[in-house]
Amino acid sequence: MDKVNKIKSLIIVESPAKARTLKKFLGNNYAIKASLGHVKDLPGNQLGVEIEKNFKPHYITIPSKTRVLQELRKAANDADRIYLAQDPDREGEAIAWHVSQELKDVPEEEKYRVLFNEITEKAVKEALQNAGRIDKDKVDAQQARRILDRLVGYKLSPLLWEKVKRGLSAGRVQSVALRLICDREKDILSFTPEEYWTITATLQRDTPPSFAARLFKIKGKKAQLKVQAEADRIVEEVKPLSFIVSHIEKKEKKRNPVPPFITSTLQQEAARKLRFSPQKTMLIAQGLYEGQELGPEGSIGLITYMRTDSPRVSAEAQGQAREYIKGRFGLDYLPAKAPTYRGRATAQEAHEAIRPTEVFREPESLRPYLSADHFALHQLIWQRFLASQMNPAIYDVTTVDIAAGEYLFRANGSIIKFLGFMKLYVESKDELTEEGAEDQEKEEILPPLATGDKLLLLELTPKQHFTQPPPRYSAATLVKGLEENGIGRPSTYATIVSIIKTRDYVREEKGRFFPTDLGLLINDLLVENFPEILDIKFTAQLEDQLDQIEEGKTNWTQTVSDFYRPFAVDLEKARKNMQKIKGIHPPTEIPCPKCGQKMLIKWGRNGEFLACSDYPKCTATSNFIRDEKGEIRLKPNAQVNKESTNEQCSKCGQPMIIKRGKFGEFLACSNYPKCKNTKNLASADLDLNCPIPGCPGTITVRKTKKGKVFYGCSNFPTCTFATWDRPIPEPCPQCQAPFLVEKKSGRDTIIIQCIQEGCQYKSGGK
């Protein structure tokens, strides 16, 4: 097209929300389009990586993005220049690169990369003026991660299908996160509590108030009481003694504010304070970054970019914060110099911390326009940022030692002299993990005391305690553990936590992660057979290598090759040596509610369940729970399922079971009465198209007159397709038939094969 007719610049972003916000600033001189995330990826039905050709990837257009790309090409042909404005991280860089490749008719010199750390008018216009080119090093780093993850997933998952059961999957980073949870669980289950005792004296001067002091030393050595008899003996010895104040120490202590949020600390604090999952936190933060409709103001970006590991704050933002603090709280709360915070050695200092784009836009003014979740997260970010720019809190801390013969008791007290940053914000804490930490003496306000004061003993209380095991991971502590161990990066923490939750390798109860039996089994198999890729330090080193690729210091193909060579060796060994678990079901001591035989633990599409060991004579199944020690218990009021099916409840995802009612058999959710979903047995749809060419029907679960389950076309009797073998919702990799089937061969072996006549595809079995 003639250059004269090209009158607009085209900006391509990832989301419509960001597009709306930009449109408000830039007006009619810019056309703004959204790619709606990734437009190209590795194929879903094959490896998509040519290992022998230096790990060359084969990207295909994501089917749902064909029309999007057509629209982008058309808009690009009408523009004088193209700004690729995807998010400022590796993932965004890769999307920009793929979009650029698809705009083949646009000369390279007309395509620019632009980075928005915040979506405000000033920041956007400055970014457009300083537009650059696509960072190929950053693209290579993302490409290396994608290919590494694809190699592990596509090579390990079929091995697990063969050795354990169909449908399992493994991931390079997610498997290491699972290991953290499994290792913690083993520590908890092997932990032996140790008894110890404390003795607390309640004391006062001549008049109230009283205060508490704990036994601290005996004959100059730290008091360590192991048994009740020892504690009782000391109590009797101490009761008649005089209590004299022997030493008082007063100190002024400062408590410094915490840095502004980075991705990991935002996810942790949102989990603790707001009970948000990491995935929910990032979804809401993305909305705050891209823009929220604020009534007459239109769409406004409220926070800076939310995927960052740097606590750095721009001088302009610090100046704005200092002006606000001075006006709102006064000079006492304003440090003489703006605080600076140091990130980790691997932090990308080009990014800023997560902060509000406009400090003077107070959270309360936004409440009418934001959802409750968006308001809560924005308020948290606003408070944390401002607090990070304020003066420390100041305490007067007093330690009082009280002598009673050869015994020394200690009381600790503190008084806040100056709130400082705590006037606005105090960070939540994870639970203490030290042995007995929950029983450490609490600091309290002490009455006026002087050395030599004689005190009155009001009460002497011995108390039994037990050391505690380390706590199970919560979403907050798991993200913290991932960051501390160097596993993952800001853009991946939420995905890691989400994936291990959805794979049925862990379950979440009361905010804590418990590995399932399947998760423990998979972890043990992978650690034994793939010790290197399941090694936490090795995974962290690989993350560092990805950072070096981004910095242009390392070649991405060399990094992938260095990883794959030993992995391929381990993979071949595992094919021969990995223990085959398929068909082996752990026994329990729980009797079958229907026939009395012992129940076994089995794994289905929706996780673990109990099944009668006398199957197929008895088809009873039931849900179960585990106690704190991992012991299995039948779920209270658990439904005993008399005939299970492969159908999944469309409302809650639990297995459907066959029931008999007034009008015959039907499918009902096994999660009854919580879920009362039912379905006509004959119309149980597997969401699979009939393989007969030209037939519009779908595959349904049916039963013969004698009650035997089979799978047939919903278009019966026009179409008579039927099979006894259970369909698998995966297209045949050879002939692209709409699904495969499971065919039993012997007692425990299952073969996956194609249903299409003439196709020889087959996998699994021996």
Tokens of 120: 């405000």
Question: 671-704: b or e for each residue (b if 16 or more CB lie within 10 Å)?
Answer: bbeeeeeebebbebebebebbeeeeebbbbbbbe
Rounded CA-CA distance 23/21 in Å is: 5
Rounded CA-CA distance 713/725 in Å is: 13
Residue appearing with tokens 């100046």: 319
DSSP 260: P
Provide the pairing of β-strand 8-13 with 79-84.
parallel
Residue 163 parent element (H or E): helix 136-163
Rounded CA-CA distance 281/266 in Å is: 8
According to DSSP, the residues that pair with 641 across neighbouring strands are: 621
Determine the length of the chain: 766
Rounded CA-CA distance 695/702 in Å is: 18
Residue 742 parent element (H or E): strand 740-745
Q: Which amino acid is at 293?
A: E
CA atoms within 13 A on the CB side of 2: 2
Query: Burial of 493 by CB count in 10 Å (0-12 exposed, 13-18 middle, 19+ buried)?
Result: buried
Residue 245 parent element (H or E): strand 243-255
Residue 90 parent element (H or E): helix 90-102
Tokens of 665: 């058999």
Rounded CA-CA distance 589/644 in Å is: 22
Question: For the CA atoms of the chain, what is the radius of gyration?
Answer: 32
* Cβ atoms of 256 and 468 closer than 8 Å: no
Rounded CA-CA distance 372/764 in Å is: 50
Task: Please tell me which residue in 83, 196, 305, 564 is annotated as part of the active site.
Answer: 305
Rounded CA-CA distance 151/213 in Å is: 61
Q: Is 469 helix (H, G, I), strand (E, B) or coil?
A: coil
DSSP assignments along 479-496, one per residue: HHHHHHTT-S-TTTHHHH
Provide the pairing of β-strand 698-703 with 684-689.
antiparallel
Which candidate, 615, 514, 472, 526, places its Cα nearest to that of 168? 526
Which candidate, 453, 524, 574, 595, places its Cα nearest to that of 175? 524
Tokens of 310: 């740097």
User: Euclidean distance between the first and final Cα of the chain, in Å?
Assistant: 61
Give the contacts of 526 (CB within 8 A, at least 6 positions apart): 156, 170, 175, 179, 533, 534
DSSP assignments along 405-423, one per residue: TTEEEEEEEEEEEE-GGGG
Helix, strand, coil share of the chain (percent; to 5): 35, 25, 40
Residue 59: Cβ within 10 Å count: 18
Backbone φ and ψ for 486, nearest 5 degrees, come out as 70, 25
Rounded CA-CA distance 283/494 in Å is: 10
* Cβ atoms of 713 and 690 closer than 8 Å: yes
Is 289 annotated as catalytic? Answer: no
According to DSSP, the residues that pair with 138 across neighbouring strands are: none
Residue 238 parent element (H or E): helix 228-238
Tokens of 726: 């259970």
Dihedral over alpha carbons 45, 49, 53, 55 (to 10 degrees): -170
Catalytic residues: 305
